[in-house]
Structure 1
Amino acid sequence: MLTFRDSTQKDFKRIAAFPANASEAFYMFPKGTFPIDPEQLYEVSLTRRVPTVIEYNGEPAGYSNLYDIDEGNSGWLGNVIISSQFRRIGAARFLIQTMMNRAKEELGLRELNLICHNTNTKALLMYNQFGFKPYDLKALKNEEDIEIAGILMKITL
């Protein structure tokens, strides 16, 4: 059974270990390094809103937060990651739906934005299924210093 709760400092050692490689770490935390430093990720969470852990039968399975909140208007979905052992059981969908609900119900947001890298096809397709629509591109450098496109997407909540 999937549930959610606010993250605590002790969660970040586990969350930092979720990315299986440098590409996954970049998708989750572009400003971080691989392996991810749990303390750095925790410090970032302190500047974010509703840092959320999802659990599968009590085991941490995923993490995300919201940032750049314009109260009552819009915000950004960030640091989305699902542990590899909990993929393909609906954890990502549960996490995204939870974050959309928290954005609307707890923060009163009307719109949620995100950036998804063009190389992360599975995530792009999933966000599209939720109703997120692309509206712009942002040139980024990936973990190998290669230029990629950050696809800006949004949904009305």
Structure 2
Amino acid sequence: MIRNPLEWVSEALVTVTTIPVLAMMVHVTLDVVLKYTVNTPIQGTLEVTAYYYMVAIVVLPMGFVELTRQSIAVELFYQMMSPRMQVAVVGFVLLLSAIGYGGVAWISWPDAIKAFERKEIVMGAVRVYIWPARFLLPCAMMLAAAVCLMLFARLLFKPRARAELTAVHTADIDHGAD
């Protein structure tokens, strides 16, 4: 099956997200070890963790979360609705999500441009350039918005996709041995 570019990028970013996760683990662990063994912590660890690692870990997988429909959902009344109403609800949620993600991208893009123009830094024990990280949020949110719009189009025009998008996904909970 041929994947479209939105699917490919969303899936690739989940894999790419392992890099900041691993880098943060090594960086923070090394910082703690050096701090308590030779009293020499790594300067800028807090800034790099807050402005790079954490932001990347949170926003890069958003397109994949929407693609796989794994965002938080409360299905209290959804299961009692007719199939046609379920399609309407899923469509409404996809459009609302696309508007929300697009709005965040729209609002954060000018801030990223300003940060780039100023070559934004944060001053701590060392100078850390943070302007590149400012582009993660608008780019990831625009991808998530595009994924929501793609899913909405599938909901409207592909009956098989409609069935998949409206299916209730229940968590399998292991209650231990019987």
Which category of TM-score, normalised to the shorter sequence, fits these structures? under 0.3
Structure 1 length normalisation: TM-score? 0.26
Structure 1 or 2: more strand by fraction: 1
Bigger relative CO (Cα 8 Å, ≥ 6 apart): 2
Larger Rg: 2
Structure 1 or 2: more helix by fraction: 2
Structure 2 length normalisation: TM-score? 0.24
